[in-house]
């Protein structure tokens, strides 16, 4: 017997009689979804800007990130300030000097300010992690209350890679002092589109 | 050091030599426990989430064979190469085999308690492979040539001055620098170079979904993603108990995990890996290493529900005052004391005795493992099997450390809080108004008095 068969046989022999799978639970908290989102996003260290149109964003970015030499974004609306042909990149290492990436996730979650994004919206998988700063665009109608609604929305989507991102990368490994900018972006800016 | 001679009492005594450090360690972990409470109390449905998570995990464990088969089939269909390892040695050989196949002698690794359990780094070092741990806390203990002392907070036992010293010696920071901001920035620069130059990245797995073949990795630092997405070969290693049935069940587990661990609403990154990137190879190693044996012990099988949040350690009055290394096992604290004797009853016979059985661990556990009951049951098994000698006297010493906390009684106002923190086992009294608090531990099967009398002999 190889290890696979051995392990499976032992598991089958040792597991208990089947216990039932509990019914699905879902909760919708009281409270305004947008207000909750904003409060939690600030609490986890994100910066927030509210705009009326996506077209306002490039100008605000130029203002907020004057130091950014290399800006990337798969969004055509950002072409005035960013490289947008990311899908054509063969070697993700060439993105090592990206100062700012601008992405639009599918939606965000109020209870933890996490934004769900799949690789087709990243340009390259490494983009939201390797950039020094990350900005995301979230239309206010694309905010759900909790992770229950989030997974209802994701449902059985087919993706190669997807993830929730909540705030800038961080660590508190040294005496529990919070430091923003561990290995991923040093900052997270959220543009809420009304 | 011969690991067979290690025992909790002696190791904890060493840790206790530095009283200031013990008090600081104790208070830091209690502070994290309080953040957990605050976060949990913000969620009115918290108890329903715990009950549901527990029931889902119980269901998975009772149907693990089929879920493993389902997961494997889906992962393979997604283009992932699946391996099975019966034990730690086989796991290490599989990982090394993949590295050899690609002619690789350097690897970057994000946090994986499983690879600690298997002693992968030591094994690979013997084979001439250099492994760099990329989680900041793990990198720090790796440079210090120590194991992690906590599953979520690997270097919680280290002061920033000591970390500054380690960085000075290894990463060239000026002597005397101990500012966390500066040290973290140094590690960021040093590890960025590592991420950019390593062709193979190994990550752990927090959850694996049978229905879709996804595996989910949670970090705050982004180190798992930096390694994985820049690598030609991604190796993910997981214990066979990490499965959950459906993708939507992640809602429950992700709501519970980080709130229980650190009080955060979610980790910064919850990455769902499903298919390799074009041109990339993705391997997944499913590891048994004693889990199927534990599954066959009805009294202990539900310890396999553990999602490694660390809450039971943060709340444990013994862990807080004896330090993670006193458990001489990859996973410390209350849950480690249940898992370790399954692997080697003789070597870890002392661990189930390194507890006051106060039950605080069971009360915070997000998947409702009856941790303190299992510790009590292990004691009986260990004594019956003739390994009781190693455990002798541990109980008494445990009481000494947990009660000798001079710093905590300074002000009368602090007393109630201090009693909860220092001696949660002492307040199992219905007359005590604190008893009504919903986080209060339930009375252990054996009252503390009886247990203390029995163990002081
Ligand atoms: S036993 Fe429970 S509390 Fe302890 S680490 Fe595991 S899940 Fe967390």
SS3 labels along B428-449 = CCCCCHHHHCCCCCCCCCCCHH
Average pLDDT estimate for A127-147: 98
Residue B172, pLDDT above cutoff 90: yes
For A4, the enclosing helix (H) or strand (E) is helix A3-14
Residue B352: helix, strand or coil by DSSP? helix
The residue ranking higher by pLDDT, B12 or B404, is B12
Question: Cα B112 vs. chain centroid, distance in angstroms?
Answer: 9
Interface of A with B in 84-143 (CB under 8 A): 92-93, 96, 111-114, 124-126, 129-130
Hey, is the C-beta of B167 within 8 angstroms of any chain A C-beta? no
pTM to 2 decimals? 0.92
Which residues in chain B touch residue A160, judged by CB atoms under 8 angstroms apart?
274-277
Of A151, A173, A175, the CB nearest to B251: A151
Residue nearest to atom 3 of ligand 1 (CA): B365
Take residue B125 and report the two structure tokens written for it.
């070092």
Which whole number is the average pLDDT over B210-229? 98
Size of chain B, expressed as the number of residues it contains: 457
How far, in Å, CA of B295 to CA of B302, rounded? 8
- Confidence class for position B444, pLDDT limits 50, 70, 90: very low
Query: Poorest-confidence range of A24-28, A67-71, A185-189, B32-36?
Result: A24-28
pLDDT of residue B367: 98
Q: Tell me how far apart the terminal alpha carbons of chain A are, to the nearest angstrom.
A: 61
Find the closest chain A residue to B80 by CA distance: A160
Q: If contacts are CB pairs under 8 Å, which of residues 205-264 in chain B contact chain A?
A: 212, 220-223, 225-226, 229-230, 240, 245, 247-248, 250-252, 254-255, 262, 264
- Determine contact, residues A108/A79, Cβ cutoff 8 Å: no
Closest approach atom of ligand 1 to CA B361: 3
Work out whether strand A187-193 and strand A179-180 pair parallel, antiparallel, or are unpaired. Answer: unpaired
Indicate if the pLDDT at residue B457 is higher than 50: no
Examine the pLDDT at B1 and tell me if it is beyond 80. Answer: no
Q: Which helix (H) or strand (E) is A187 found in, with range? A: strand A187-193
- With a CB cutoff of 8 Å and minimum separation 6, the contacts of A105 are A115, A116, A117, A121, A136, A138, A165
Q: What's the mean pLDDT in B108-131?
A: 96
- C-alpha B85/C-alpha B95 separation (Å) is 10
User: What mean pLDDT do residues A157-176 have?
Assistant: 96
Nearest to A182 among B220, B229, B292 (CB): B220
User: CB of B129 closer than 6 A to ligand 1?
Assistant: no
pLDDT value for B390: 76
pLDDT at A179: 94
Interatomic CA distance for residues B451 and A91, integer angstroms:
63
Count of C-beta atoms within a 10 Å radius of residue B132: 21
Confidence of residue B18 (pLDDT cuts 50, 70, 90): confident
CA-to-CA dists, residue B156 to A68, B26, B258, B309, angstroms: 36, 10, 17, 15
Q: Is the pLDDT of residue B378 over 70?
A: yes
The B residues from 8 to 67 touching A (CB cutoff 8 Å) are 28, 31-32, 44-45, 48-49, 51-52, 55-56, 58-59, 61-65
B266 CB within 8 Å of a chain A CB? yes
Best CA proximity match to B207, nearest among B39, B60, B108, B369: B60
**CATH 1.10.1060.10 segments of chain B:** 3-10+293-384
The 10 Å Cβ neighbour count of residue B89 is 13
Query: Can you give the pLDDT at residue B455?
Result: 55
- CATH number among 3.30.499.10, 3.30.360.10, 3.40.50.10420, 3.40.50.300, domain A29-193: 3.40.50.10420
What ipTM describes this predicted complex?
0.98
DSSP letter for A83, please: B
CB A180 within 8 A of CB B184: no
Q: Is the pLDDT of residue B106 over 80?
A: yes
- Residue B406 has a pLDDT of 45
Q: Which of B54, B143, B225, B302 to mutate to test the interface with A (most CBs of A within 10 A)?
A: B225
* Distance of residue A123 Cα from the nearest chain B Cα, in angstroms: 12
Would you tell me how many other CB atoms lie within 10 Å of the CB of residue B195? 26
Residues 6 or more apart whose CB falls under 8 angstroms from that of A178 comprise A170, A171, A172
Question: How does strand B215-219 pair with strand A143-144?
Answer: unpaired
Q: Decide if A150 and B265 are in contact by the 8 Å CB cutoff.
A: no
Half-sphere exposure of B299 (CA within 13 A, CB side): 13
The mean per-residue pLDDT over the stretch A28-38 comes to 93
**CA–CA gap between residue A28 and residue A148 (Å, rounded):** 8
How large is the angle between the packed helices B160-171 and B136-143, nearest 10 degrees?
A: 70
Q: Are B202 and B215 in contact (CB under 8 A)?
A: no
Domain with CATH 3.40.50.10420 in chain B: 43-289
**B139, B187 contact by CB (below 8 A):** yes
B209 lines ligand 1 (CB under 6 A): no
Query: How confident is the model over A63-85, as a mean pLDDT?
Result: 97
Query: What confidence tier does B437 reach under pLDDT thresholds 50, 70, 90?
Result: very low
Atom of ligand 1 nearest to the CA of B338: 1
Q: How far apart are CA B454 and CA B457, in angstroms?
A: 6
Residues of A in contact with B196 (CB under 8 A): 93, 96
Q: Predicted confidence band at B275 (pLDDT cuts at 50, 70, 90)?
A: very high
Answer whether B292 sits within 8 Å of A11, measured CB to CB. Answer: yes
The protein residue with its alpha carbon nearest to ligand 1, atom 4, reads: B312
Residues 16-45 of A with CB under 8 A from B: 16-22, 24-27, 29, 40, 44
So what's the pLDDT on residue B20? 87
Angle of CA points B293, B298, B302, to nearest 5°: 80
pLDDT score of B208: 98
What's the 3-state SS for B196-236? HHCCEEEECCCEEECCCCCEEEEECCCHHHHHHHHCCEEEE
| pLDDT value of residue A180 | 96
To test the ligand 1 pocket, which listed residue (B151, B310, B313, B362) has its Cβ within 8 A of the most ligand atoms?
A: B310
Phi, psi angles (nearest 5°) of residue B111? -65, 130
Q: Which residue of B has its CA nearest to A187?
A: B268
CATH topology of domain B43-289: Rossmann fold (3.40.50)
* β-strands B106-109, B243-244 pairing: unpaired
pLDDT band at B86 (very low <50, low <70, confident <90, very high): very high
B267/A166 CB distance under 8 A: yes
| DSSP 8-state code for residue A21 | P
Residue B9 pLDDT class (50, 70, 90 cuts): confident
B28 to A99, A106, A175, B147: CA distances (angstroms) = 35, 38, 8, 20
Q: Quick one: tokens of B58?
A: 């119980």
- Tokens 């340009």, located at residue: A123
The three-class DSSP label of residue A2 is: coil
Per-residue confidence band for B394, with pLDDT thresholds at 50, 70 and 90: confident
| Average pLDDT, integer, range B219-246 | 98
B259, B265, B285, B295: best to mutate for the A interface, most A CBs within 10 A: B265
Count CB neighbours of B94 within 10 A. 20
Across the interface, whether the CB atoms of A173 and B49 are under 8 A apart is answered: no
Q: Does domain B3-10+293-384 sit in CATH 1.20.1530.20?
A: no
Q: What is the pLDDT of residue B454?
A: 57
Residue B327 CA, ligand 1 centroid: distance in Å: 16
């Amino acid at each position: 017997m190889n290890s696979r068969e051995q392990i499976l046989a032992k598991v089958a022999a040792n597991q208990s009689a089947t216990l039932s799978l509990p019914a699905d639970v879902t909760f919708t908290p009281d409270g305004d979804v947008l207000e909750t989102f904003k409060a939690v996003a600030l609490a986890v260290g994100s910066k927030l800007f509210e705009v009326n149109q996506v077209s306002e964003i490039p100008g605000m970015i130029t203002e907020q990130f004057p130091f950014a030499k290399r800006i990337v974004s798969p969004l055509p609306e950002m072409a005035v300030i960013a490289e947008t042909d990311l899908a054509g990149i063969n070697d993700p290492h060439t993105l090592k000097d990206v100062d700012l990436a601008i992405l639009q996730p599918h939606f965000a979650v109020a209870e933890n300010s996490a934004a769900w994004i799949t690789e087709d919206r990243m340009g390259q998988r490494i983009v939201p992690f390797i950039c020094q700063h990350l900005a995301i665009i979230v239309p206010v109608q694309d905010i759900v209350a909790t992770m229950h609604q989030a997974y209802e929305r994701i449902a059985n989507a087919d993706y190669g890679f997807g993830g929730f991102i909540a705030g800038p990368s961080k660590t508190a490994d040294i005496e529990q002092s919070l430091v923003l900018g561990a290995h991923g972006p040093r900052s997270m800016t959220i543009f809420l589109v009304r | 050091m011969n690991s067979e001679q290690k025992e909790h009492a002696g190791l904890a005594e060493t840790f206790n030599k530095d009283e200031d450090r013990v008090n600081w360690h104790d208070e830091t972990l209690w502070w994290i426990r309080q953040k957990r409470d605050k976060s949990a109390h913000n969620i009115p449905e918290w108890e329903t989430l715990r009950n549901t998570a527990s029931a889902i995990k119980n269901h998975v464990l009772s149907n693990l064979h089929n879920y493993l088969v389902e997961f494997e089939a889906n992962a393979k269909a997604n283009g992932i190469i699946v391996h099975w390892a019966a034990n730690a040695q086989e796991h290490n050989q599989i990982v090394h085999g993949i590295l050899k196949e690609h002619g690789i002698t350097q690897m970057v690794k994000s946090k994986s308690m499983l690879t600690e359990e298997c002693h992968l780094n030591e094994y690979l070092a013997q084979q001439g492979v250099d492994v760099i741990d990329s989680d900041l806390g793990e990198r720090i203990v790796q440079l210090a040539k120590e194991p992690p002392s906590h599953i979520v907070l690997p270097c919680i036992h280290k002061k920033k001055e000591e970390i500054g010293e380690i960085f000075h010696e290894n990463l060239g920071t000026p002597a005397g620098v101990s500012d966390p901001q500066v040290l973290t920035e140094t590690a960021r620069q040093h590890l960025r170079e590592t991420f950019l130059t390593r062709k193979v990245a190994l990550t752990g797995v927090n959850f694996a979904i049978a229905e879709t073949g996804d595996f989910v990795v949670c970090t705050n630092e982004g180190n798992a993603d930096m390694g994985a997405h820049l690598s030609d070969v991604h190796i993910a290693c997981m214990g066979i108990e990490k499965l959950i049935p459906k993708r939507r069940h992640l809602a429950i587990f992700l709501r519970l995990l980080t709130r229980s661990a650190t009080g955060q609403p979610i980790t910064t990154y919850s990455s769902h890996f499903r298919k390799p990137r074009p041109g990339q190879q993705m391997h997944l190693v499913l590891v048994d290493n004693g889990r199927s044996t534990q599954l066959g012990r009805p009294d202990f099988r539900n310890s396999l529900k553990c999602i490694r949040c660390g809450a039971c350690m943060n709340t444990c009055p013994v862990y807080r005052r004896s330090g993670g290394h006193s458990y001489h096992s990859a996973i410390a604290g209350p849950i480690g004391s249940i898992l370790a004797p399954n692997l080697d009853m003789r070597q870890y016979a002392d661990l189930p005795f390194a507890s006051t059985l106060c039950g605080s661990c069971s009360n915070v556990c997000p998947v409702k493992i009856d941790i303190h009951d299992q510790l009590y049951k292990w004691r009986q098994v260990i004594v019956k099997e003739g390994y009781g000698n190693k455990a002798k006297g541990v109980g008494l010493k445990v009481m000494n450390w947990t009660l000798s906390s001079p710093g905590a009684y300074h002000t009368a106002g602090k007393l109630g809080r201090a009693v909860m923190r220092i001696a949660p086992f002492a307040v199992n009294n219905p007359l005590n108004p604190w008893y009504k608090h919903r986080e209060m531990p339930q009375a252990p099967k054996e009252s503390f008095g009886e247990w203390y009398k029995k163990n002081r002999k």
